[in-house]
Structure 1
């Protein structure tokens, strides 16, 4: 937890708080230590940026969740468009 806080420029308390808000759910090692993915660290840094700008932590977490959902929806939309286009028609 301490290393993750150091890497994200936050505190262990901040990481626990965004975990309680459902923004991140780190895995646990056999010894019970929290294990954060790079993606979770990136999400934590985005939330920290919003909080640093004056956004309440609850709102910052919701914003980050919505941004993530939008990014995923846009990616899926593009995949569907690409697959709908199909291969180019052959000239006959």
Structure 2
């Protein structure tokens, strides 16, 4: 018997694994597939495609889409909501990197005047 390959269930633990169809993702978010397509048009999320060409979304993408929906529900235009979410995500990543560098003992270098 060949050695067992990694369990497919392990993929479900991966935040980036594209486990959800467009219909299921829209249902989970309480929105429409058109909303998800619009988020793609504004480059907030880019779903992966199944072999058949169908959009597939990850849990990470669903969290991003849920934040955009929250802003839109509060009256923010969708294009502005997408930009806000992108900036929030970039800030979170920068803070994570800064924390890692601090943990490794790196100190910020002072800026020298040009």
How does the TM-score come out when normalised to structure 2? 0.73
Rounded Cα–Cα distance in structure 2 between residues aligned with 1:74 and 1:50: 22
For 1:12-51, what aligned pairs fall within 5 Å after superposition? Answer: 12-51=33-72
Rounded Cα–Cα distance in structure 2 between residues aligned with 1:46 and 1:9: 12
Deviation at 1:58, TM superposition (A): 0.2
Deviation at 1:3, TM superposition (A): 0.9
Deviation at 1:66, TM superposition (A): 0.3
Runs (5+) with no aligned partner, structure 2? 1-21, 107-114
Rounded Cα–Cα distance in structure 2 between residues aligned with 1:9 and 1:41: 11
Deviation at 1:9, TM superposition (A): 1.2
Deviation at 1:16, TM superposition (A): 0.3
How does the TM-score come out when normalised to structure 1? 0.90
Equivalent residue number for residue 92 of structure 2: 71
Instruction: Provide the aligned C-alpha RMSD in A.
Output: 0.8
Deviation at 1:18, TM superposition (A): 0.5
The structure with the largest helix share of the pair is 1
Runs (5+) with no aligned partner, structure 1? 86-92
Rounded Cα–Cα distance in structure 1 between residues aligned with 2:28 and 2:90: 24
Rounded Cα–Cα distance in structure 1 between residues aligned with 2:45 and 2:31: 14
Equivalent residue number for residue 53 of structure 1: 74
